[in-house]
Structure 1
Amino acid sequence: MLDLAIIGGGPAGLSAGLYATRGGLKNVVMFEKAMPGGQITSSSEMENYPGVAQVMDGISFMAPWSEQCMRFGLKHEMKEVVRVSKKDDVFEILLSDNTSTLAKSVIVCTGSAPKKAGFKGENEFFGRGVSTCATCDGFFYKNKEVAVLGGGDTALEEALYLSKICKKVYLIHRRDAFRAAPSTVERVKKCENIELILNAKVDEVYGDNSGVTGIKIEFNDKSTKDLAIPGIFTFVGLDVRNEVLKQENGEFLCKMSEQGNVIVDLKMKTNVAGLFAAGDLRLDASRQVVCAAADGATAALGVIAYLEGH
């Protein structure tokens, strides 16, 4: 039986693994079906982590984390978790291959995923001109014109990244002001090949067998605009990944908010003894790497205290 099962391998999960193993737990496994790193690995620019002065991409930033965590005994199993349930004082971790393992405690750090924008043609052309990762797909649009949809930090940072690759970037936002950090907004406004399209939304993406060939934009005053471009990158928010906590009867293992976030206290404890949640999954998460890492460390310390009391 595991002392601790960590579900998810982003900054919260890795930090939890580091603090749990360094804190003395001997049998700790992190379940992550992909390589560890989390959503930040798709970011083109990481510049606000305290103590890391060098600006780098997300993959380079996260590369040392796994090595550091594994050094203290954290094990990584590249398996997908389907469900976490609890019977008496023991948690059962059901995996996608229909096997299961038992654990004395669990930290769920499954994070979040890019939210769909909801325009016509989004699903049809996803991966063929519609993308949520500029780092992954930006190269395919070298010296071409593309659009970015969104008004937060991620949207503006990715627009800046694409501006270095693409001939022109159209930044589309439904309001006339951005939610991003003022310094990022200023950089975008000074970038010569980024054109702002404000008070507007993407109504439709269209194309042919080769992929996207254009997008239709509708402004708040109901006027329209057609852009003949081969690609659009959407950054309109995140959906939490809470599926592993849903039980066979459709209810969740622990208390959740109306938005689907896990309700925790300041120590990342849920209302279920031995179950903790950290990172974007939990209520009121800041959605910042430094905060997710802190959550993971806090949860791990909570697990150590919980196990000592049992």
Structure 2
Amino acid sequence: MREIIIIGSGPAGFTAAIYAARAGLKPLLLASSVEAGGELMNTTEVENFPGFPEGIQGPELMLKLQEQAEKFGTEVVLDDVTAVHLAGDVKSVETGYSGTFEARSVIFATGSAYRKLGLHDEERLSGRGVSWCATCDGFFFKTKTIAVVGGGDSAMEEATFLTRFAEKVYLVHRKDSLRASKIMQERAFANDKIEFVWNSEVVGIQGENAVEGLQLRNTVDGSTSQLPVQGLFVAIGNDPRVHLVHGQLDLTAEGTIAVEGRSSMTNLPGVFAAGDVIDPHYRQAVTAAASGTVAALDAEAFLAALDQAEAEASDLVTAS
């Protein structure tokens, strides 16, 4: 039986693994068979992760994190988790091909997935003008004309933030009114760089090697039009990857795993969570990594307390 199993291979998962491995816990990290490395594997230049003043490619950063985790003794298995059983002293994790693993503690670092438009060219031009994170990629669109898709607070926040860099920001929304909070709407309406494109949805992304324009369809009369832009930011929400824990772990109103205060402790002893799966707001690589640190330290303390309790119980039996 393992001391600790970490599910997820983004910054939170690998950072938790680094700390757990250095504590001598020999963690097992289960990474997806097809999405190992998390969302950063789809990111080109990362310039806001500390320690890389010249920037670093997303996949290269994840490779370095994995190498560091393995250096200290983490075992990484590329397999998909299909079910978990978290109640009781022994936690079990079932995988698609590698069988079932057991451990005294588990850290969930499964992240979240950005909602996508579902267009073919959305994937093809990812990192070439298509993005889901303004704070990650906005810097690369200085003096450009770009579009943001969405109508909620996230879309207003992304559009407003992007005006720091872009020459013009179109905000494309499929209705004629926004669902964003009043204050976020007022900020967007007051910004001279933002122009709203109402009753419209993106049905095509144009460009061979980079985004050159969008094809829009009017949701009222069905007519189509072209919108020349050099970037597209999709801000229609994201979904925490919590399907494995439904009915076992408490969730927040935002759908993330609920934890106690600033800790990583869930409602079940020995089960911890870190990264975007507990964070509905910041969703940055560095905050996820910090959260992974917290989870590893919490798990280490939990296991140490278990060992102490078991030792005391053994002493009582011997004394009697």
Q: Closer, same or farther in 2 for the Cα pair 1:155/1:293, shift >3 Å?
A: closer
Query: Which is further off, 57-66 or 271-280?
Result: 57-66
User: What is the rounded CA distance, in whole Å, between the counterparts of 2:25 and 2:131 in structure 1?
Assistant: 45
User: What is the rounded CA distance, in whole Å, between the counterparts of 2:150 and 2:35 in structure 1?
Assistant: 35
State the Cα distance separating 1:58 from its structure 2 match: 1.3
Q: In structure 2, what residue type is equivalent to 1:277?
A: A
Contact 2:28 2:77 in 1 (8 A): yes
Within the candidate set 148, 153, 158, 2:135 is matched to 153
Return the TM-score normalized by structure 2: 0.71
- Matching of residue 185 in structure 1 with residue 184 in structure 2: no
User: What is the rounded CA distance, in whole Å, between the counterparts of 2:159 and 2:51 in structure 1?
Assistant: 19
**Is the radius of gyration larger for structure 1 or structure 2?**
2
Q: Closer, same or farther in 2 for the Cα pair 1:157/1:178, shift >3 Å?
A: farther
User: What is the rounded CA distance, in whole Å, between the counterparts of 2:198 and 2:136 in structure 1?
Assistant: 18
State the Cα distance separating 1:86 from its structure 2 match: 2.5
State the Cα distance separating 1:204 from its structure 2 match: 5.1
Name the structure 2 match of 1:143.
none
Q: Closer, same or farther in 2 for the Cα pair 1:198/1:174, shift >3 Å?
A: farther
Contact 1:155 1:235 in 2 (8 A): no
State the Cα distance separating 1:81 from its structure 2 match: 0.3
Contact 2:134 2:162 in 1 (8 A): no
Name the structure 2 match of 1:69.
69
Name the structure 2 match of 1:256.
251
5 Å matches for 1:91-106?
A: 91-97=91-97, 99-106=99-106
Q: In structure 1, what residue type is equivalent to 2:103?
A: A
Name the structure 1 match of 2:302.
306
Name the structure 2 match of 1:249.
none
Which runs of at least 4 in structure 1 moved beyond 6 Å after TM superposition?
Answer: 221-224
User: What is the rounded CA distance, in whole Å, between the counterparts of 1:29 and 1:279 in structure 2?
Assistant: 18
Q: Secondary structure at the match of 2:56?
A: coil
Within the candidate set 134, 147, 166, 1:171 is matched to 147
Contact 2:40 2:59 in 1 (8 A): yes
State the Cα distance separating 1:24 from its structure 2 match: 1.9
Q: Secondary structure at the match of 1:198?
A: strand
User: What is the rounded CA distance, in whole Å, between the counterparts of 1:217 and 1:149 in structure 2?
Assistant: 21
Gap runs ≥5 in structure 2: 170-192, 206-212, 307-320
Query: Which is further off, 57-66 or 288-297?
Result: 57-66
Q: In structure 2, what residue type is equivalent to 1:261?
A: T
Q: In structure 1, what residue type is equivalent to 2:147?
A: L
Q: Secondary structure at the match of 1:186?
A: coil
Write 1 or 2 for the structure with the bigger share of helix. 2
- Matching of residue 39 in structure 1 with residue 23 in structure 2: no
Q: In structure 2, what residue type is equivalent to 1:257?
A: T
Q: Closer, same or farther in 2 for the Cα pair 1:112/1:300, shift >3 Å?
A: same
5 Å matches for 1:211-226?
A: 215-218=215-218, 226=225
How many pairs are equivalent? 271
Contact 2:146 2:166 in 1 (8 A): no
User: What is the rounded CA distance, in whole Å, between the counterparts of 1:45 and 1:149 in structure 2?
Assistant: 12
State the Cα distance separating 1:285 from its structure 2 match: 5.0
What percentage of aligned pairs have identical amino acids?
Answer: 27
Contact 1:44 1:57 in 2 (8 A): yes
Contact 2:263 2:298 in 1 (8 A): yes
Superposed CA offset, 1:106-153 (max 9, x none)? 000000112134xxxx4xxx33x2338622xx3xxxxxxx8x587843
Contact 2:254 2:280 in 1 (8 A): no
Contact 2:200 2:218 in 1 (8 A): yes
Q: Closer, same or farther in 2 for the Cα pair 1:114/1:149, shift >3 Å?
A: same
Name the structure 2 match of 1:142.
none
Return the TM-score normalized by structure 1: 0.73
State the Cα distance separating 1:17 from its structure 2 match: 0.2
Q: In structure 1, what residue type is equivalent to 2:122?
A: V
Name the structure 1 match of 2:28.
29
Name the structure 1 match of 2:15.
15
Superposed CA offset, 1:35-74 (max 9, x none)? 7432122122322223321123312333311111111000
Q: Secondary structure at the match of 2:46?
A: coil
